[in-house]
Amino acid sequence: MSLRTSLKALPTMLRIGFSEAVAYRAEMIIW
């Protein structure tokens, strides 16, 4: 994996992880 590919994939992974954390916290608040 080249550096450019990892740099391009990092924001996507961060966005997915952030959205999953937000969804998990929202479920905890709802329940």
Tens digits of residue pLDDT in 1-31: 688 888 888 999 999 999 999 999 999 988 7
Rounded Cα distance between 25 and 31, Å, is 10
Token readout for 2 is 């080249």
What pTM was computed for the model? 0.55
Overall residue count recorded for the chain in this entry: 31
Residue 27: predicted pLDDT: 92
Token readout for 29 is 């608040």
Residue 1: predicted pLDDT: 61
Residue 30: predicted pLDDT: 83
